[in-house]
Chain A
Amino acid sequence: MRQGGAPDMDPFFYLILLAGAIAGGSCGLLGVYLVGLRLPFVGIFISHAAMAGTIYSLLLGLNPLWAPALVSAGAAASLAAIRPEKSRLDSNVALAILFSLMLGLTFLGIGLVQGSRSEVLGLLWGSILFVRKGSVLVISLAALAFLAFAFAFNKELKVLLFSRTIASATGVHETFVYALFLALCGVILAVNLPLIGGLMIFSLITNPAAAAYQVCRGHRAVVAASLGLGVASAVGGFLFSYYLNLPTGACTVLTSTLLFAAAAAYRTLAGRAD
C-alpha cells in the first residue's frame, strides 16, 4: 500500500476510511441481533446468497447492485420460515446446509464466468481500496435504513432476542419483525459485499457484537458498543494495513478478533461486573 515511512494520507484514503467505518458500523449493528439470536451462520449464509446473486447478475447482465440485494433479501427473509420448534434440525445445521447450497451455486457461477474472473473473485475479499462515492452513498442509505428499523422496532427486537417463544406466545408480531429484519440483513450484506467481501463480513458481524455482549450491561450499551467496535475494527484494520504495509482484509479480521480477545480478557479480569 505504501513504501516505508509514515507518509501523509492521500485524501482518497479518507473515502476508504469512511466506507470502512460505515460498513463496519452496519455489520456491528447487524451482529447485535445475529449473535444475540445465536445465528451468526445467518450472516455467512446471507452474504453467500448475495455473492451468488452478484455472480449470476453479472452472468445474466442484470444490475449488479440491486439484483443481488433482492436475491439476498429474499433468501434472508425466507429464513423466517424456519421454526426451530417445528423442525427436527437445529437452526444452525439447517443454515449450514443452506450455506453449502449457496457456496455450490457461487462456485458454479464462478466456473461459468467467461474471461477474467478477477471481478467475481474480488467478492471473496472485497475491494474497498477501489471504492467509489456512489458505493459509499448506497451503503450509507442501507445503514440508515437498518438504523431506522432497529430504532422503530426496538421493543419487539428485544423480545425476539430474549425468546422467540415468549414473543410468539404473548402477541408480539415476531414473524413479521423477524422477516423484515432478515430482509434488511440481506440488503445490508449485499451492498457491503463488493466492498468488504463475503469472508470479512462474517468476522465483522460476529466479533464486535460478541465483544459487546461480553462487557456491556443493558441492550442500549450493547448496541452502542457493537457499532463502535465494528467501526474500530474496519478503520483500525485499514490503518494497520496502511502503516504496516499488510493486506487490508486480514488486518481488519485480526483487529476485530483482537478487540474480542481484549473484551473477553476484561470480563475475566474484572469478574462478572453485572
Chain B
Amino acid sequence: MTAGTLSLANVHVRRSGRTVLRIDHLEIPAGTFLGIVGPNGAGKTTLLKVCAGLIQPQGGAVRLEGLDLTRLSAWRKCALRRHIGYIPQVTEYNADLPFTVREVVAMGRTSIRPLLRPLNAQDRAAVDHWIDAVGLADRRKQTFRSLSGGEQQKVLIARAMAQDPRLLMLDEACANLDFHWKHEISDIVERLYRQTHMTVLMVSHETGVLPAGCRRAVLLAGGRLLADGAVRDILSPAMLHRAYRAGLTTMSVGGRTHIVRAGPFENPQFESRHRDRGQSDSHFGTSSDAAGGGS
C-alpha cells in the first residue's frame, strides 16, 4: 500500500548559489502525522514545496506514492497530485476576490474532475459536507474575504478535504491567528487526521500548535535536518540551541510541547550555567556543531 507515502533521498535545493535544503533521507509512511519545525529560514516551506513537487530540487529523488516527482512529466505530476490537499501561507492566495465560501471549497473538487467536465451533484454534496464539518454552515454564501483569518483557514481546510486527500500539507496554517483560533485550527486538523488516517505534513514555527496526535516531527535549521523523532525528544535543549542559537527549552501544556525561553522559572539549571560560563555557544557542543545546521 503506497497511498499517502512519501520519501526523500539525497535531495538538495540551491538558490543563489547557496544550499537552502539538503535532506539525505526522510521516509514518511502512510498515515503519519509529521510536524516540520524550525526557526525562520530553516527550509520548512522549501521542504513542503519539494514534497508537493512545487520546487524541483537540483538533485535527489522525491517519491510520492512510489513515483519520483522529479522525473515525471507535468501531466503525470498533475494526476499524482490530485490527492494532495495543500494549504499555503497567507501570502500565496488571493483573499481579496469576492469568491463565496462555497466557491472556494468547491475548488477542492477541481482536480478530481477531468478537464472540460463541470462539477456535479456529488461534488456539491461533498462541498456542503466539508463546510458543515468545519462548522461554517451558516457562512457558505458569504464571501471568503469577509471572514476572519481563523474562519478563512477553516475554509481552506474544507477546500483541501473536499479533494479526498491522501496527503494533507499545511504551511503555517496557524500563523497570524490568536490563541483561540490557533487551537481551534489545530484541533480540527487533529480530528480530521484521526477520522481519515491520511498522511499529514504540518509546517509550523510554533511547536505548540502541533496537536497531541502529531507523534513525529523533524527539526530543521539552515536547510539541514537536525533531528527526527517524537516532538518532545527532538526538542532537547541541545538541539534547540543548535537550531535557534538561543537559550531555549520546552514546556508541556495539555499534551502540546511549547518552546519557551530558558529562564529562572523554566530551567534554573540552564540559567545558572549560562551565567557562569558567560558564552551561550559553549553550553551545548562546539560552535562548529552549531554551524553544522547551516549551509
Residues of A within 8 A of B (CB): 36, 38, 85, 152-156, 158-159, 161-163, 165-173, 175-176, 213, 216-219, 221-222, 272, 274
Contact = CB atoms under 8 A, between A and B. Distances in A.
If over half of B's interface residues share one DSSP class (helix, strand or loop), that class is named, otherwise mixed; here it is: mixed
9 contacts: A38-B94, A163-B88, A166-B88, A166-B93, A169-B53, A169-B81, A170-B85, A170-B163, A172-B78
Interface string B34-63: 000000000000000100111100000000
Contact of A159 (B52, B85, B110): B110
Contact of A162 (B53, B107, B118, B160): B107
B146 A171 contact: no
Contacts of A167: 110
B291 interface: no
Contacts of B276: none
B110 A161 contact: no
Contact of A219 (B103, B116, B160, B163): B103
Contacts of B106: 155, 158
B90 to A, nearest CB: 11
Contacts of A213: 96-98
B33 interface: no
A36 to B, nearest CB: 6
B243 interface: no
Nearest to B115: A173
A171 B79 contact: yes
Nearest to B111: A171
Contacts of A222: 97-98
A171 B104 contact: no
A152 B116 CA distance: 5
B125 interface: no
B97 A36 contact: yes
B267 interface: no
Nearest to A214: B98
A10 B85 CA distance: 59
Nearest to A86: B55
A156 B82 contact: no
B118 A154 contact: yes
Contacts of A166: 86, 88, 92-93, 107, 159
B114 to A, nearest CB: 10
B25 interface: no
Contacts of A171: 77-84, 111
Interface residues on B, range: 35 or more
A23 B294 CA distance: 57
Contacts of B116: 152-153
B139 to A, nearest CB: 11
A218 B103 contact: yes
Interface of B: 49, 52-55, 74-75, 77-86, 88, 92-94, 96-100, 103-104, 106-111, 113, 115-116, 118-119, 141-143, 145-146, 159-160, 163, 169
Nearest to B117: A155
Given A155-B118, A170-B84, A219-B99, A162 B93 contact: yes
Contacts of B104: 162
Given A162-B97, A171-B81, A274 B145 contact: yes
Given A85-B54, A219-B98, 15 more contacts: A152-B116, A154-B118, A156-B115, A158-B106, A159-B107, A165-B86, A166-B93, A169-B81, A170-B81, A170-B82, A175-B74, A213-B98, A217-B100, A218-B143, A274-B142
Nearest to A36: B97
Indicate the member of B53, B74, B110 with the most A CB atoms within 10 Å.
B110
B100 A170 contact: no
Nearest to A220: B103
A163 B118 CA distance: 19
A36 B84 contact: no
Contact of B92 (A165, A170, A272): A165
B166 to A, nearest CB: 12
Nearest to B119: A155
Contacts of B109: 155
A42 to B, nearest CB: 15
A89 to B, nearest CB: 14
Contacts of A163: 88, 92-94
B115 A218 contact: no
A274 B146 contact: yes
B115 A153 contact: yes
Nearest to B147: A274
A105 B83 CA distance: 46
Contacts of B82: 170-171
Contacts of B49: 169
List of 8 A-B pairs having minimum Cβ-Cβ separation, nearest first = A274-B146, A169-B86, A171-B81, A163-B93, A274-B143, A171-B111, A171-B82, A165-B92
Given A155-B113, A162-B97, A173-B115, A272 B146 contact: yes
A212 to B, nearest CB: 9
Nearest to B108: A170
